[in-house]
Amino acid sequence: RCLSCSGEHSWCSSCAVKAHQHNPFHNLQLWNGKFYESTTLRDHGYIMDLGHGGHPCPNALQQSNLSPWSDLGAMEDVFAHVEGDTIYETQLGLSNLVIVHSTGVYSHCVSWCQCPGAEKDRHLHLLKAKLFPASITQPQSAFTFNVLDNFLIDALECKTSAMSFYQKLRCFTNNAFPHTIPDRYHELMRVSRIWRDLVNRIRFGFAHESDRSPGPGDLALYCPACPQPGINLPSSWKDTYDSWLVMQRYVVDGNFTAQHMKMKTPEDDVSLADGKGYMVTEGPYETHIIESVEEKEAMRNSSNHRAVNAANVQRSNLRATGVGATACSRHGCFVPHAVVDFQKGERQMNMDYSICNALKYPSEDIGSALIIYDVACQWSIHFHERVNQSYHLSLPQSIKILPALVILMGKSWRPSGPLKLLLKKYHQAIQGIKDTQGPYEESMKSLDRANIQKWKKEAELAALHRGELLDIYQLTMDKAPTMAEIRLRLTENEVSTNGRTGAVAWLIEGINIENAQDGLRSSIRQLPEDPTASQRTLMEEKRQKLLSRINKFHETALVMTNGMELEGGAGLHQDDPELCLEEADGSNFPGIEELGEDSILDIGDDADSPAEVAELWMPSWGTSDPIMNDVVMPLHQEELELRKGQANDCLEKLRQALGDRSVVFREKLHSNKSIHYQGTRSTKELRKITLAINKHAREYRRSRAAMQRLGADSDTMSSYQALKAEDLTVSKEVTEENRHGQGSDRLAWFWRINSAEDSQKSEWMNEFNWLKAKARYDRWSEELKLVQHEMCWTVWWFQKQESEWRARADESIKNGHRAYAEKQAS
């Protein structure tokens, strides 16, 4: 019976061979009287005929006096007396051939064509039978076209090595003893490379144009949707298209995981298509590397980036430490003849070669290029100088390069294809216009027309000249005075104001104690539900140190108030639960105001009120005694000024921490979801930043509450607004800069203030909001226009390919060439 045939069949030995005359790679089993055991067609006399369309050669039959489809028993009698394939070869044209198929490794008896001169064409007979010979002159092994195609797909999609792939085939053949199967691993390595090269040449038309050899990058595809003069652009494109529309848009990056080990005998590695695909030509590139001198990286001027830090890393066991490539930034298609090897790391000499090759392929006539590179700020400084100083680097004439530092969160079209990706981009652009058009038109109606005309001119100048003129799109805030600056001013004026010294330092100490109390409460909230003895001891030691500071503070307060009895502020330690939940270590830890007598806060033998919740007297808490008010009134204004400085410091720290959290979301969490260890580390970093945000928010709320109790005027309180939980969310301006629904976005109030003035009423804030609204609307309008053109360019690219294949079909003489060209054209 056959395990590969569909249905239930049982044959005798000779019928099984006849049924599989053209299915030599089926797996058979033989009933031995007790069970089915594996067997082969060769064991039952199967002979594979080559050279006559799978039929026996007439000359071989005449030599053996046998007719086609003779009884196999008679055939066995003919060569029953011979031993070894050599006698078969000389008398009947038979030999043994190891054939590797996708279902296993087979050893077949092959009958070669015995026609005159056929011995020299045995490799051609194998190819006609869809068998690729491992050698040309005396083939003893062959691979089916099917197994070669399967290996290429496995290597591409499953990252399967040749060793693993062939070992799988050996297990298919004999899973119990795979080592008994002939080893054709080295032959697979060699044949698969030849097969891949031949398939590429056929697909790119070089089988039809045998008089033309492929040039650099001619065996690689490029993006159909990107503008390419002479391919998918009309002849009048220079007169009909805006320059920004046909601008080359490239993204540049390195891959440090694509490493290549050093070979023992590199001279045996013969390149079949050096520089014909995506990799650059090896010889000129090596010469460029040898003759180039790498500039010392100005590390103090660059960020802590892997590409910069790894620039001089070299490993002795690697021929290439990685690769660098240039791709179209909108669709993720690699530029042919622009992928380079790294010798030490991602150095500028490597990426310069890649970028220069990309700029010359196939769009030399396009006058501008956007280069998106994560270290563009450093790479672009001396790029033109390095090109001018090198004999191996060149750029298209009059090209204008615009470097950009952008984090791309988009996807290439490989998973879904160009049609679905372009349709998705089209719908996104339509939705983006809907979201941004309303807020933009509303701002046009509500704002002064003279101002709008002025802002339009500024935006046009910024788009034309760029540089510092683009700062109009950024928040410009005057530096607010810090608490340290206010303290210095108050200390210098202390004697002339109230005739005594030490009051400012005493007030600063009170504010610092409040912060220390908050820090201790935060540490307690982060303790587990059942803290260890060492943890409880540590908390108690912190309490004692803090209580000592509080006692000294109150002693100084008696001096400041001429010995009057003071009462601390009730409720000072009340923290907002919404700013404390993150501190609970994996449990629903209650807020401070919810803690009962059994809480960890109450541990301690001789203290009714632990130090972290102890009452602290400050002028902002006031007193009901009129005489006392007269005594402390001079301190009110000093504390109010210090509280303003404290609030300014908190807001600045909040802006920095929220920015840090946005960057963590974008660069680490969003881009490393599949990397467990990276995600875990980023989650810890995110929690640390969130704790800092909550800390600064609590301190700001304390300072604002103090300003209210000190009787701050309405202008001051309108500048220092209440801080809400929604104000502390991650800035989507950073995490999702191209998202929908941002047309009506407004920054939290503290992003617009950095002084004691209410900046919402200022003209520059209106300009900032209008420019942002206009930029969002213009961005989606340009996106829609660009996507519509990309759709046309894609159609024209395929029409160009169709016309080329139609021409090849018309010029083809051989039927096979014509049929393949017609298939490609369709």
Question: Is the pLDDT higher at 505 or at 297?
Answer: 505
Over residues 307-325, the mean pLDDT reads 73
* Cα 619 from Cα 636, distance rounded (Å): 6
Highest mean pLDDT: which of 292-296, 351-355, 416-420, 720-724?
351-355
Which has more confidence, 327 or 427? 327
Q: Which of 68-72, 418-422, 454-458, 744-748 has the highest mean pLDDT?
A: 454-458
pLDDT tens profile 178-209:
999 999 999 999 999 999 999 999 999 999 98
Cα torsion 182, 186, 187, 192: sign? positive
Sorting pLDDT into bands at 50, 70 and 90, what band is 226? very high
State the helix-helix crossing angle for 483-492 and 503-525, rounded to 10 degrees.
160
Which pLDDT belongs to residue 752?
58
- Report the alpha-carbon distance of residue 221 to residue 278 in Å, rounded: 9
332-336, 450-454, 620-624, range with the lowest pLDDT: 620-624
Residues 6+ apart with CB under 8 A from 636: 619, 620, 710, 711
Instruction: Look at residue 529 in the predicted model and tell me its pLDDT.
Output: 84
Q: What is the three-class DSSP state of 129?
A: coil
Top-ranked range on mean pLDDT: pick from 403-417, 538-552, 571-585: 538-552
Q: Which of 283-287, 501-505, 567-571, 600-604 has the lowest mean pLDDT?
A: 600-604
Structure tokens of 274? 């050096």
pLDDT for residue 426 is more than 90: no
Q: What is the mean pLDDT of residues 344-349?
A: 88
CA dist., res. 577 & res. 281, Å (int) = 64
37 has pLDDT over 60:
yes
Question: Nearest-5° angle of CA 692, CA 695, CA 700?
Answer: 125
What was the pLDDT predicted at 89? 46
**Whole-model pTM?**
0.69
Higher model confidence: residue 463 or residue 35? Answer: 35
Q: How do residues 679-697 score in pLDDT, each as one tens digit?
A: 566 678 888 888 989 999 9
pLDDT at residue 315 tops 60: yes
Tokens found for residue 33: 């009287």
Q: Is the pLDDT of residue 755 over 70?
A: no
Measure the CA–CA gap between 104 and 229, rounded to whole angstroms: 49
pLDDT at residue number 567: 61
In this prediction, residues 582-590 reach a mean pLDDT of 49
507-519 mean pLDDT: 91
Higher pLDDT, 409 or 567: 567
Q: Kindly state the tokens that stand for 763.
A: 């003209």
- 570: how many CB neighbours lie within 10 A of its CB? 9
- How much is the pLDDT for 600? 44
Q: Would you state the pLDDT for residue 807?
A: 94
Q: Where are the domains of the chain?
A: 45-203, 237-296+303-404, 417-447+779-826, 483-769
> How much of the chain, in percent, has pLDDT values that exceed 90?
38
Cβ neighbours for 395, distance < 8 A, ≥ 6 positions apart: 356, 359, 360, 387, 401
Name the least confident of 352-366, 411-425, 464-478. 411-425
**pLDDT given for residue 90 in this prediction:** 44
Cα–Cα distance measured from residue 782 to residue 780, given in angstroms and rounded to the nearest whole number:
5
Residue % of the chain over a pLDDT of 70: 78
Range 141-151 average pLDDT: 96
What's the pLDDT at 79? 36
pLDDT (average), residues 266-286: 91
Q: In sequence order, which residues have a C-beta less than 8 Å from that of residue 152 and are 6 or more positions away?
A: 192, 195, 196
- Inform me whether the pLDDT recorded for 164 exceeds 70: yes
Residue keyed to tokens 């807001």 = 651
Q: Tokens 């009129």 sit at which residue?
A: 626
- Per-residue confidence (pLDDT) for residue 746, from 0 to 100: 60
**pLDDT for residue 77 is more than 60:** no
Sign (positive/negative) of CA torsion 490, 491, 492, 496? positive
Confidence category of residue 469, pLDDT binned at 50, 70, 90: confident
Among 142-146, 664-668, 814-818, the minimum mean pLDDT is found in: 664-668
At residue 667, what is the residue type? E
The neighbouring-strand residues paired with 786 are: none
For residue 291, is pLDDT > 60? yes
Average pLDDT over residues 129-145: 93
Greatest mean pLDDT among 73-87, 427-441, 728-742: 427-441
Closest CA to 619 of 711, 552, 520: 711
Mean pLDDT of the chain: 81
pLDDT at 409: 44
d(CA 714, CA 668) in angstroms, rounded, equals 43
Higher-pLDDT residue of 474 and 256 is 256
- pLDDT category at 572 given cuts 50, 70, 90 is low
Name, in order, each residue with C-beta under 8 angstroms of 305's C-beta and a sequence gap of 6 or more: 374, 375
- Please, which pLDDT band fits residue 667 given cuts at 50, 70 and 90? low
What is the rounded distance in angstroms from the CA atom of residue 670 to the CA atom of residue 718?
A: 37
Instruction: Output the CA–CA distances (angstroms, integers) from residue 300 to 25, 311, 375, 662, in the order listed.
Output: 65, 15, 14, 24
Tokens representing residue 621 in the block: 């808490």
